[in-house]
Amino acid sequence: MTKDEDLIWVEKVLSGDTNAFAILVERHQDAVYTLIRRILKRDDEAEDTTQMVFLKAYHSLAGFNRKSMFSTWISRIAYNSAISEYRKKKNKVHLGDDKLMNQLATNLADENDSYEKESLLAQLETAVGQLEPEDNALITFYYMQQQSVDEISQITGLSVPNVKTRLFRIRKKLQEKILQETTTQQF
C-alpha cells in the first residue's frame, strides 16, 4: 500500500465522492479491526468501535494534514479510541479470551508446522492476549502491521527510544510467560 494511493481516495472523498471512502475502509479495515480487537479483546465491542473509528475518520477527514500516511493517521484514531473505550469498560473486559486465542492460534499455525511449534505459537498467543492493552497495541503495530518504530512513535505519542525499549521489555515479558507456562506444564 502506498501513501499516494490513499491520498487519491482521500482527495476524492473531500471533493464529495462519498463512495471513495468505501475504498479506504476496504484497505484499512483489517488492520484497524485487528488493533482494536487486540486491545478490547471482545468481538462485539471491537466491531462497534471499528465502525465508530471509521465514522470519526470520515467526519475528521478535512483535518487530515497529509504530513503523515493515512494508515498512520487512522491507526492513531483507532489506538486512542480503543484505549479510551478499554478504560471506560475496564471492569467488563475479560482477559484471556479463549475464542480469540483459538482463532489466532489457528491463524498462526502453518499446515507444515510441527505440533510443538503450534503449541508454542498458541502459548505465545495466550501470552500476548494477557498483555496490557498498550503493550498489545505495540505488538500489533510492529509485528502485524509492520509499522516502523517512527510511525509507532507518531501513533502512540511515545518517543522512539521508548518504543524500542518497550518492545524489548514486552518480548522479555512474553519470553518469561512462555517459559513459566512450559515449566508448569512439565510438572
Partner 1 sequence: MNDNFENKEIDQLLRQMMPMKAPPKLKNNIMDQISAEQIHNTTAATMTIEKLLLGLSLLTAMIALLFMVDFGFIANGFTDAIGWMNTLLSSDQPTFDQIAETTAQLPAMALMVLAAIGLLLLVERLIIRRFTNVNYFV
Which of 46, 25, 26, 28 is closest to 100 using CA atoms? 46
Q: For the chain, what is the total number of helices (H) and then of strands (E)? A: 9, 0
CA dihedral 108→113→119→122, nearest 10 degrees, is 0
Decide if residue 25 touches partner 1 (CB under 8 A). yes
- Pick the binder of partner 1 from 83, 93, 103, 162 (CB under 8 A): 103
Scanning residues 61 to 100, which ones bind partner 1 (CB under 8 A)?
61-65, 73, 76-77, 80-81
Kindly report the length of the chain.
187
Compute the distance between CA of residue 73 and CA of residue 23 in angstroms, rounded to an integer: 16
Q: Convert residues 163-182 into a mask of x (bound to partner 1 by CB under 8 A) and - (unbound).
A: -----x--xx-xx--xx--x
Compute the distance between CA of residue 110 and CA of residue 113 in angstroms, rounded to an integer: 5
> Looking up cell 506444564, which residue turns up?
185
Compute the distance between CA of residue 142 and CA of residue 167 in angstroms, rounded to an integer: 9
Specify the stretch interacting with partner 1 by CB under 8 A; choose among 91-99, 115-123, 129-137, 158-166: 115-123
Decide if residue 51 touches partner 1 (CB under 8 A). yes
The residues binding partner 1 (CB under 8 A) are 13-16, 18-19, 21-22, 25-26, 29-34, 37, 43, 47, 50-51, 54-56, 58-65, 73, 76-77, 80-81, 103-104, 107-108, 110, 116, 120-121, 124-125, 128, 139-140, 142-145, 168, 171-172, 174-175, 178-179, 182
